[in-house]
Structure 1
């Protein structure tokens, strides 16, 4: 019953990610939400008569059962926001979906995640940059995500597979279809070394309004968003802007000043919304990433250096769990004033336990 209620909550019209979290915060669990009376629901801020009636009637449970039968038949996993499988990076975003549908073999919590986005009508310049860049990334133990769209997105997925890099496509529709249809073969190959992920249930069409929502997931899943080539307007710049609001790093490849499909990248760089990069070495310098053996990296993440104070261990474990964390997130978790935390972070940097990144974020060395 629990899984049906989780699905049902996402199907109630008028209840989005933020309101879902409010309901969970007030009720403690998804089961308690559906056990609540209309009167109890009306006592929750922003819950009106219509929503309270919809929740209390439990009318969406039948739709949830149909969805559950679909995911069971097609081997789809559900990632609830409180589950371990749920992407930790995305969970830190206030508008993160409370439920995701996923099919594939790649982890949703890898050590390093890069999103690569760009123009649908990519030029030869953009295609060459994308191909060379991804080939260079094969030594950096990364996962690459994009939107499975025409142009740079699909090229990023294809090149990732070619270089044996796990790649996940984020969809703006349900897992009962692939859009565009010409990418079905590519999507099938991605399931073997990557996957497909969406917040939308089956039967959801690839409608225009779904893609900005899809773009926020791309930004939220990533340590860094790379804009390869983009016009001054379009989905790539929307993704970059969202990444900036999430306090994530954004990078862009520069282009010719007279080229329309480089205008977006040049604008991001000019306005300090993105770091200028030319290759993977520039990215590794910015992110403090080194080329390393995957097994050695995994082993390193499981080790806890000796000679740390109790407070330092608390910070270290939090950063290790989240791969990278902002000073605000750490302060909130530890419940310390930032003055105390700043001293601890400085001491940990001097001990070469952590490194400071742009945006007042930290990661383990």
Structure 2
């Protein structure tokens, strides 16, 4: 990208009172972010939704560009990837959100062109039952290879990220601060795994420290990146309910796990269901059915999703998922199992519709 345009985007991102919706309107009106800064105040103020007060940023463009230059130095020094809303490498789903960021930043190995992206949110005080449900849910949905998006907070968020990693799924954490920080601090222990299995996204600058008021901005990206948002547990108020509302505003599906009426952290989910703001989620098949994912997969993949496998069969399944196809002897050697035992397991998995043999003693997932 033209360096001047990138600096102008960064500067416009920091223009007081403007925000992403008006920033897009300005770019659309004048042709580019750099062209916006070539205008005088009356020209900007005349645009619908602006006015003199909001247009005042143009009088401080020197200051805004100095700040933008410092951010650009950080981006270049740390090789931070950036995505601009009108470019092809920007999240396609986020492009449909009117308040999606004009530019966001990422680090890691993130590939958002996967057709299946789920946001999973909920309370920071996750209960044992909810944790068990989430573990079962992610393990059962894993054969569809969805991307799991969450907010890297305590409770539901961090458990969703960890379970995604355990199931070899890409997972993306959307942060409420710059990419040079981790909050909560003790989640730094998972940063390396996150970077290897997905990564981090934020539209905040590295100079933006953690602040609770940033949660709303963070939550709109969580909702916007995904085809659907799943609320695992929530009290009567909380950020996960805000995320659910945002997802609904973006015309995305919302799911909520019901609970007992007297449970504090089931109140929010029960209300979402009661008010018809969310589908009731009681089993993994609900997601595939309502989102139409099962129609996009052949029958064999559906069998993989819900068939019961023992621990050793799961090892073979995960191995073939990663390898695509492999020889019987190589599978046995890599898994450190006797060949006859692997052969027997593969036969059983073939009968279950999970694997299929290929010529030359090769095996692959069905």
Q: TM-score range by the shorter chain?
A: 0.7 to 0.9
Cα shift readout 1:9-65 (whole Å, capped 9, x = no counterpart) = 101111101110111121011121111123322322333335434325522111111
Partner of 2:310: none
1:117 offset after TM fit, Å?
0.5
* Rg larger in structure: 2
Of 66, 69, 74 in structure 2, the residue corresponding to residue 65 of structure 1 is 69
1:203 offset after TM fit, Å?
1.4
- Structure 1 Cα separation of the partners of residues 31 and 181 of structure 2: 35
Of 177, 184, 203 in structure 2, the residue corresponding to residue 180 of structure 1 is 184
- Assess if the C-alpha contact under 8 Å between 1:34 and 1:56 holds in 2: no
- Assess if the C-alpha contact under 8 Å between 1:131 and 1:159 holds in 2: yes
- Assess if the C-alpha contact under 8 Å between 1:141 and 1:291 holds in 2: no
Of 51, 57, 79 in structure 2, the residue corresponding to residue 48 of structure 1 is 51
Of 24, 27, 32 in structure 2, the residue corresponding to residue 29 of structure 1 is 32
- Structure 2 Cα separation of the partners of residues 12 and 56 of structure 1: 11
- Assess if the C-alpha contact under 8 Å between 2:171 and 2:194 holds in 1: yes
Partner of 2:17: 14
Pair 53,5 (structure 1): closer, same or farther in 2 beyond 3 Å: same
Pair 279,20 (structure 1): closer, same or farther in 2 beyond 3 Å: same
- Structure 2 Cα separation of the partners of residues 43 and 268 of structure 1: 41
Give the 3-state SS of the residue equivalent to 1:94 in structure 2. Answer: coil
Partner of 1:347: none
- Structure 2 Cα separation of the partners of residues 278 and 95 of structure 1: 32
- Structure 1 Cα separation of the partners of residues 173 and 112 of structure 2: 12
The 5 Å alignment of 1:125-164 reads 125-164=129-168
TM-score of the pair, normalised by structure 2: 0.77
* Alignment partner of 1:285 is 2:289: yes
Give the count of matched residue pairs.
Answer: 296
Cα shift readout 1:81-129 (whole Å, capped 9, x = no counterpart) = 1111111111111111111011111213321110000110001011111
Give the 3-state SS of the residue equivalent to 2:37 in structure 1. Answer: helix
Partner of 1:251: 255
Partner of 1:333: none
Partner of 2:319: none
Pair 32,121 (structure 1): closer, same or farther in 2 beyond 3 Å: same
Of 116, 119, 125 in structure 2, the residue corresponding to residue 115 of structure 1 is 119
- Structure 2 Cα separation of the partners of residues 2 and 288 of structure 1: 40
Give the 3-state SS of the residue equivalent to 2:273 in structure 1. Answer: helix
- Structure 1 Cα separation of the partners of residues 59 and 113 of structure 2: 35
* Alignment partner of 1:241 is 2:229: no
Stretches of structure 1 that go unaligned for 5 or more consecutive residues are 298-365
Cα shift readout 1:315-365 (whole Å, capped 9, x = no counterpart) = xxxxxxxxxxxxxxxxxxxxxxxxxxxxxxxxxxxxxxxxxxxxxxxxxxx
- Structure 2 Cα separation of the partners of residues 8 and 67 of structure 1: 10
Of 105, 110, 120 in structure 1, the residue corresponding to residue 109 of structure 2 is 105
Partner of 1:81: 85
Give the 3-state SS of the residue equivalent to 2:192 in structure 1. Answer: helix
- Assess if the C-alpha contact under 8 Å between 1:76 and 1:101 holds in 2: yes
- Assess if the C-alpha contact under 8 Å between 1:85 and 1:108 holds in 2: no
- Assess if the C-alpha contact under 8 Å between 2:42 and 2:52 holds in 1: no
Pair 125,68 (structure 1): closer, same or farther in 2 beyond 3 Å: same
* Alignment partner of 1:221 is 2:228: no
Give the 3-state SS of the residue equivalent to 1:290 in structure 2. Answer: helix
* Alignment partner of 1:190 is 2:194: yes
Partner of 1:171: 175
Pair 184,39 (structure 1): closer, same or farther in 2 beyond 3 Å: same
Give the 3-state SS of the residue equivalent to 1:58 in structure 2. Answer: helix
- Assess if the C-alpha contact under 8 Å between 1:114 and 1:144 holds in 2: yes
1:291 offset after TM fit, Å?
9.3
- Assess if the C-alpha contact under 8 Å between 2:80 and 2:105 holds in 1: yes
Partner of 1:351: none
